[in-house]
Amino acid sequence: MDIYLPIAGLSVNALVIVGLGGLVGLLTGMVGVGGGFLTTPILIFYGIPPAVAVASATTQITGTSISGVLAHRRRRGVDVRMGAVIIAGGIAGSIAGGFLFRLLQQGGQIDTVIAFLYVILLGSVGLMMAREAATALDILKPRASQAERPARRHNPLIAMLPMRWRFYRSGLYISPLAPLGLGFVSGLLTVLLGIGGGFIMVPAMIYLLGMSAQVVVGTSLLQILFVTAVTTLVHATTTRSVDIVLAGLLLLGSVIGAQYGAWLAQRMKPELLRMILAIVVLAVAFRMALQLGWRPEEIYTVQLL
């Protein structure tokens, strides 16, 4: 069943796209990540122009994160004040990222930068997750030093920042500059990579900011919701590469997949879920690394002026 994508300017098999959305949605529902890191590379492998893939994947993440935000809000798992600060940083980052994206596009280095960032981010996060999940599943022995070292609540660098605010839900008294900066980075990544950035934000919120665990996922989702919405607008007005038909097809699959994923998540060991996620993340990183190092199929690329 072929459908013509008006912005990407080519026909795709609608069932493949809906299926991809469903797969990503399943993962979203199971482990609570946006899944953009999976959607964007697969769309690019499928032949969608990178700019369109990044922009449309961003739109899709907005849709998959809304149900998560609503669910966490019902369970009072969202720190709105912390979220607002991070979102403010995220919006600034996403606008700055829009300019950076254009600059890299004109210089012809956007593909390399995207692939490079993917390899570094996904590779390191994937390794961390895999090790942690393997330890929890008793595949790996926990390192003695790690087990004995007392968990440090506050990062000394962040404690040094001036102007402290109280974040009651997160149980923190820290400078808003830290979450603001974190938001900025995630906004940048959202524009450049078409990811929500949850898999970077969640560890950063826990280990850098020291937020209490029950509000981390909800707050991260809230931030993803807003930042991806703003990023969609940034893409729509600057690169003009949001394909509403492509995003719609992806959403159709992913919102349904997410519901089944959530249902499945209640029936599986959480460590196993994290292991699955780690393997998927590492596989994507590996594929991207191959793309960088292997002789590409196309030596020449064409860009319209």
Partner 1 sequence: MRRLQALLPALFAPPFFLAAWVARAGAARRKAGALALAFLAPLMMAQAQPRLVPDISHRQVEIRYSFTGAELLLFGAIVYPGGRGPEPGTDVAVVLKGPLEPIVVREKQKVAGIWMNVERVRFRSAPSFYAVASSRPLSQLVDERIAAIYELGLGSLQLSPGGGASADVMQRFERGLIDLRRRNQLYAEYPRGVEISEGVLYRARISIPARVPVGTYTAETFLIRDGRVIAGAAREIRIEKLGFERFVAEAAEQWSFAYGVTAVALSLLLGWGASAAFRRRYG
Q: Which residues bind partner 1 (CB under 8 A)?
A: 2-4, 6-7, 9-11, 59-60, 62-67, 70-71, 108-109, 111-112, 116, 229, 232-233, 235-237, 240, 242, 244-245, 247-248, 251-252, 255-256, 258-259, 263, 291-296, 298-305
Nearer to partner 1 among residue 109 and residue 124 (C-beta): 109
Nearer to partner 1 among residue 177 and residue 289 (C-beta): 289
CA distance 281 to 36: 11
CA distance 122 to 39: 14
Minimum distance, C-beta of residue 130 to partner 1, in the bound complex (Å) = 25
What's the start-to-end Cα distance of the chain, in Å?
33
Nearer to partner 1 among residue 21 and residue 89 (C-beta): 21
- Other beta carbons less than 10 A from residue 67's beta carbon: 17
Minimum distance, C-beta of residue 35 to partner 1, in the bound complex (Å) = 13
Q: Which residue has the tokens 């919102």?
A: 255
Minimum distance, C-beta of residue 213 to partner 1, in the bound complex (Å) = 23
For 97-133, letters b (16+ CB in 10 Å) and e give bbebbeebbeeeebbebbbebbbebbbebbeebbebb
Contacts of 122 (CB under 8 A, 6+ apart): 37, 281, 282, 284, 285, 288
Nearer to partner 1 among residue 8 and residue 178 (C-beta): 8
Nearer to partner 1 among residue 229 and residue 273 (C-beta): 229
Contact between residue 128 and residue 203 where contact means Cβ atoms under 8 Å apart: yes
CA distance 257 to 252: 9
Contact between residue 197 and residue 226 where contact means Cβ atoms under 8 Å apart: no
Minimum distance, C-beta of residue 46 to partner 1, in the bound complex (Å) = 13
Contact between residue 175 and residue 82 where contact means Cβ atoms under 8 Å apart: no
Nearer to partner 1 among residue 70 and residue 213 (C-beta): 70
Minimum distance, C-beta of residue 103 to partner 1, in the bound complex (Å) = 14
Minimum distance, C-beta of residue 301 to partner 1, in the bound complex (Å) = 5
Nearer to partner 1 among residue 83 and residue 179 (C-beta): 83
Nearer to partner 1 among residue 84 and residue 244 (C-beta): 244
CA distance 36 to 197: 8
Minimum distance, C-beta of residue 225 to partner 1, in the bound complex (Å) = 8
Angle subtended at Cα 220 by Cα 125 and Cα 77, rounded to the nearest 5 degrees: 125
Residue type, 241: S
Residue type, 195: I
In the numeric block, which tokens belong to residue 114? 């995207």
Minimum distance, C-beta of residue 300 to partner 1, in the bound complex (Å) = 4
Task: State phi, psi for 297 to the nearest 5 degrees.
Answer: -65, -40
